[in-house]
Chains A and B, each alone.
Chain A
């Protein structure tokens, strides 16, 4: 599923991963200064629309991911109502003797929406970026040392193997009569039991891969050739201009409404 979205040829998938990563950090720094609910709401709508139109990702799929996340977002609202920094003056209504002030509700709403904005931009990045392309882009444009870049890619390739390994360890434990865990406490001790064998085999595999890489002449130096080059294209310029317009518009809007 993830794979299919990352590989299709819509606009967002063509943008250089480095630039997308920068835009992801940008939105966080922008939102840190915002405490009204309107700005994050507008930004959230624009982002969701943008991801689904420019990234070719179905709206239903996006909302399905964001829905469980809103439980987390909701916590900001109730905590701000129950434990505010300073209680607001406009009391809307009271629940069991607790006065709910409009100001606190608004700030809580803003913080909740803020976390949803972060989530939507994260989805923009994650759903449209191929892992390999990201690493190559970081090596080629961000001066990430190839030793780290390729080392990480190698380790990342182990992930499917880990799943297989976990199955094996589980089967081995079961055949020795350790049985299956029921309930949360048993699950936790079970995880502890799986962790050490899994990590031990991960370390062994990693050592072997490193030796193989070195024996094939990988020395981690910067002057090397690349089979895949991640270029800067016109799409990147368009994306950058789009970001400029988006943030310019938001700043203008905030200045107009006096917030």
Chain B
């Protein structure tokens, strides 16, 4: 803990391994998503997009330092490429923009607040960035605005609930196992517990 904002090696490796796990899950999700898109079109697919922002938010919520959301998402994207994804190119660009979106929301709060609404906003920014990217990359400008609008709505919803709320739930249950005690989230939790105990003793 030499400097408060620079990442140390322990945090990097832990972040990388969380992101690697998510990267593998993303791959399965892409496969599922492509089938869903093939059958229901982009709106049904939009509801699934939030899942792809999870690595960002889980890591940022645990480590709470600038840059974590972006880097985590890039690592997850990198994993998908290393494992062998058919969508390597788009995954790489999407990973960057999704991470950037999620990062931006956290930066707006100066990396000080990690409460649920902020995380949900971060998820929505992430999916919004995702939307803008695929809008150009896959030529969605050729569709009627009704369908792109519905798709955007579905994606934002998914970003808020799946990415924001879902990631917080995962990170919180991880912290209950005690493995995060050396990280910011674990320390915050311990602080809260101690304050609560002090209160109940009074």
A interface residues, Cβ below 8 angstroms from B: 2, 21, 24-25, 27-28, 32, 35, 65-66, 68-69, 71-72, 74-76, 78-80, 83-85, 107-108, 110-111, 114-115, 118-119, 121-123, 125-127, 131, 134, 147-148, 151-152, 154-156, 158-159, 162, 195-200, 202-207, 209-211, 213-214, 218, 220
Contacts and interface: CB of A to CB of B under 8 A. Distances in A.
Contacts of B194: none
Interface in B1-53: 7, 9-10, 12-14, 16-21, 24, 34-35, 37-39, 41-42
Interface of B: 7, 9-10, 12-14, 16-21, 24, 34-35, 37-39, 41-42, 71, 75, 78-79, 81-93, 136-139, 141-147, 170, 173-174, 177, 179-180, 182
B17 A126 contact: no
Contacts of A118: 87, 89-90, 137
Contact of B71 (A21, A74, A127, A148): A148
A196 B177 contact: yes
Nearest to A66: B86
B177 A83 contact: no
25 contacts: A21-B92, A25-B93, A72-B37, A75-B38, A84-B143, A84-B144, A108-B142, A111-B138, A114-B139, A118-B137, A122-B85, A123-B86, A125-B81, A125-B88, A134-B82, A154-B13, A156-B20, A156-B82, A158-B17, A196-B173, A196-B174, A199-B21, A202-B21, A203-B17, A214-B10
Given A148-B12, A206-B13, 5 more contacts: A84-B142, A111-B138, A118-B87, A154-B16, A159-B20
Contact of A107 (B24, B142, B170): B142
B38 A72 contact: yes
3 A-B pairs with least C-beta separation? A122-B88, A155-B16, A72-B34
Given A71-B35, A122-B86, A162-B21, A213 B13 contact: yes
A198 B142 CA distance: 43
Contacts of A85: 141-145
A65 B182 CA distance: 43
Contacts of B177: 196-197, 200
Contacts of B38: 71-72, 74-75
Contacts of B90: 28, 118, 122
B12 to A, nearest CB: 4
B87 A156 contact: no
A28 B17 CA distance: 29
A213 B12 CA distance: 12
